[in-house]
Amino acid sequence: MNRVFIKTYGCQMNERDSEQVASSLRDRGYSVVDNEFDADVVLLNTCSVRDQAEQKAIGKAGYLSKRKRENPNFVLGVMGCMAQNRGEELIDRLPDLDLLVGTQKFHRVPDHLDHLIRSANGQGPRPSTLVDLDEEADSQNTIRDHIGKKNQVSAFVSIMQGCNMNCAFCIVPKTRGSERSRPIEHIIEEVEELAANGVKEITFLGQIVTSYGRREFPVVDGKSPFVQLLEKTNDVPGIERIRFTSPHPRGFKQDLVEAYRDLPKLCEYVHLPLQAGCDKTLRAMNRPYTKNRYSEIVNSLRAVVPDMYFSTDIIVGFPGETEEDFSESAAFFADIGFDMAYIFKYSIRTGTPAEVMPDQVPQEEKERRNQVLLEILSRGSLQRNERLIGTTQEVLVEGPAKRGDAYTGKTRGFRNAIFEADERLVGQLVELKIDRVTASSLYGELVLAGVDTF
């Protein structure tokens, strides 16, 4: 009765939360399995950002409910954003749910499972769905343990929870609550521990990392708490690369630009959500910057690191986005020259200001706009990759590729690289001479100056 399978939907933050749940369940004597059919307990960690993500998880839960009817001891739980967003209404849809856990209660999962399993064993009354969706002070400090996978090269570290912005389309402030940050010292302790276990690359996670510690910790020497955190991380021996996701253009100030100049471990890749490249749409979205300001940030970063790589999130078909607005947005998108982008078709979220805005854009039109941006992106990425042919790039070797006997890794600019290597190079920084590229990957050969590995 103690084999648990966790399925995760959505963003890296959700992956990180699932890892925390897995780690705390292991500490409690559960075994975390990687196949749902071997499990006595299935937990779905859900996403609410778009309707499609919610529908997928609801479909899966419905399917798993059937298993419950065959085996009454089987335990089914829904955790995370959709649990928080829909609350007890979900139980009407999914009456067989045993457990509903919100985004501030992941650390309570072992207690809840213990309780459910005790009662399933006839040691207590069969409970109705166990619901735990409250806010909890300090929940940001509960996401801190790692599973310690073999040969782990790269790790996510959650530095804050919540978001205080009110982007008109976004459900996250409702599902994740208001901004709460972990102390710098706690985060650095976690990073040091990861480094001691061989991790080389840290990615800091938060809904709006540029707001990290804004209310809790002081500015020192003109540097925001977030930049102070980056500086301290840069000093941790063993860590070779630092990344983060996501900053907000509003909080992207000169101190952060200068961090790219001054901190050698901070990789020259930034994911900076744009959402729209048209001032009218940005205003309607309640995004407090203009495309001009966005360009200024991009240019100031390129001024300190000419080879900077840019990634973004952009939404097509926001209510009221006319053909003209979209063309302006697409032209700006092309102008910046993104190396990577997540392009989203606007999805109505109940309870957000955009839900009731007039002039919703038809689905086919969203599809078309999506295609336009995808084409711009793939042309741009291919050109950018082509410029890398003949150069030598530093690659952090992650492990065997999915197919064939090649290995994969990432450049500092977060380009995917594929090459012949050897198990012993996993976790190492190697030099790769690029000889062939596609829009998504670089292919090349290791430059093994003086290294005798084969």
Positions touching ligand F3S (CB under 6 A) are 163, 165, 167, 170, 172-173, 207-208, 248
From ligand F3S, ligand SAH, none, which one binds at residue 346 (CB under 5 to 8 Å depending on kind)? ligand SAH
**CB nearer ligand SAH, residue 113 or residue 170:** 170
- Packing angle between helix 291-304 and helix 323-336, nearest 10 degrees? 10
Upstream peptide bond of 128 is cis (omega within 30 degrees of 0)? no
From ligand SAH, ligand F3S, none, which one binds at residue 140 (CB under 5 to 8 Å depending on kind)? none
Q: Nearest approach, Cβ of 352 to ligand F3S (angstroms)?
A: 9
**CB nearer ligand SAH, residue 351 or residue 450:** 351
Distances (CA, A) of 160 to 108, 163, 177, 184, 244: 19, 9, 11, 11, 12
Q: Which residue has the tokens 């901004």?
A: 179
Q: Are 141 and 186 in contact (CB under 8 A)?
A: yes
From ligand F3S, ligand SAH, none, which one binds at residue 315 (CB under 5 to 8 Å depending on kind)? ligand SAH
- For residue 152, what are the contacts with CB-CB under 8 A and spacing of at least 6? 146, 197, 198, 199
Q: Are 348 and 397 in contact (CB under 8 A)?
A: no
Q: Is residue 74 near ligand SAH by the rule CB under 6 A?
A: no
**CB nearer ligand SAH, residue 80 or residue 110:** 80
**CB nearer ligand F3S, residue 182 or residue 412:** 182
Q: Terminal CA-to-CA distance of the chain, rounded, Å?
A: 46
Per-residue DSSP letter, 337: T
**CB nearer ligand F3S, residue 13 or residue 101:** 13
**CB nearer ligand SAH, residue 152 or residue 275:** 275
Q: Is residue 346 near ligand SAH by the rule CB under 6 A?
A: yes
Residue selected from 5, 74, 169, 326 as contacting ligand SAH according to rule CB under 6 A: 169
Q: Is residue 230 near ligand SAH by the rule CB under 6 A?
A: no
**CB nearer ligand SAH, residue 110 or residue 273:** 273
446 burial (CB, 10 Å; 0-12 / 13-18 / 19+) is buried
Quote the CA–CA distance of 143 and 127 in Å, as a whole number: 28
From ligand F3S, ligand SAH, none, which one binds at residue 77 (CB under 5 to 8 Å depending on kind)? none
Q: Nearest approach, Cβ of 342 to ligand SAH (angstroms)?
A: 7
Q: Is residue 244 near ligand SAH by the rule CB under 6 A?
A: no
Residue selected from 313, 355, 431, 445 as contacting ligand SAH according to rule CB under 6 A: 313
From ligand F3S, ligand SAH, none, which one binds at residue 344 (CB under 5 to 8 Å depending on kind)? ligand SAH
Quote the CA–CA distance of 180 and 387 in Å, as a whole number: 42
Residue selected from 226, 309, 344, 419 as contacting ligand SAH according to rule CB under 6 A: 344
Give the total of residues touching ligand SAH (CB under 6 A): 18
From ligand SAH, ligand F3S, none, which one binds at residue 173 (CB under 5 to 8 Å depending on kind)? ligand F3S
Q: Nearest approach, Cβ of 50 to ligand F3S (angstroms)?
A: 12
From ligand SAH, ligand F3S, none, which one binds at residue 50 (CB under 5 to 8 Å depending on kind)? ligand SAH
Percentage helix, strand, coil, to 5, in the chain? Answer: 40, 20, 40
> Residue 74 is encoded by which pair of tokens?
């089987």
- Using CB under 6 A as the binding rule, the residues of this chain from 45 to 64 that contact ligand SAH are 49-50
**CB nearer ligand F3S, residue 13 or residue 32:** 13
**Positive or negative, the Cα torsion across 171, 175, 176, 179?**
positive
- For residue 29, what are the contacts with CB-CB under 8 A and spacing of at least 6? 2
Quote the CA–CA distance of 8 and 15 in Å, as a whole number: 6
With CA atoms as reference, report the closest residue to 274 among 253, 256, 290, 258.
Answer: 290
Q: Nearest approach, Cβ of 233 to ligand SAH (angstroms)?
A: 19
Q: Is residue 366 near ligand SAH by the rule CB under 6 A?
A: no
Residue selected from 104, 129, 139, 246 as contacting ligand SAH according to rule CB under 6 A: 246
CB atoms within 10 A of CB 137: 8
Q: Is residue 273 near ligand SAH by the rule CB under 6 A?
A: yes
Quote the CA–CA distance of 143 and 107 in Å, as a whole number: 8
Sheet holding 130-132, edge to edge: 31-32, 3-8, 41-46, 75-80, 99-101, 130-132
Q: In the Cβ-directed half-sphere of 267, how many Cα atoms lie within 13 Å? A: 28
Phi-psi region for residue 238, left (φ > 0), alpha (ψ -120 to 50) or beta? left
From ligand SAH, ligand F3S, none, which one binds at residue 161 (CB under 5 to 8 Å depending on kind)? none
Q: Are 417 and 409 in contact (CB under 8 A)?
A: yes
Convert residues 172-211 into a mask of x (bound to ligand SAH by CB under 6 A) and - (unbound). x----------------------------------xx---
Q: Is residue 103 near ligand SAH by the rule CB under 6 A?
A: no
Pairing mode, strands 241-245 and 269-271: unpaired
The residues that touch ligand SAH, with contacts defined as CB under 6 A, are 49-50, 163, 169-170, 172, 207-208, 245-246, 273, 275, 313, 315, 344, 346-347, 349
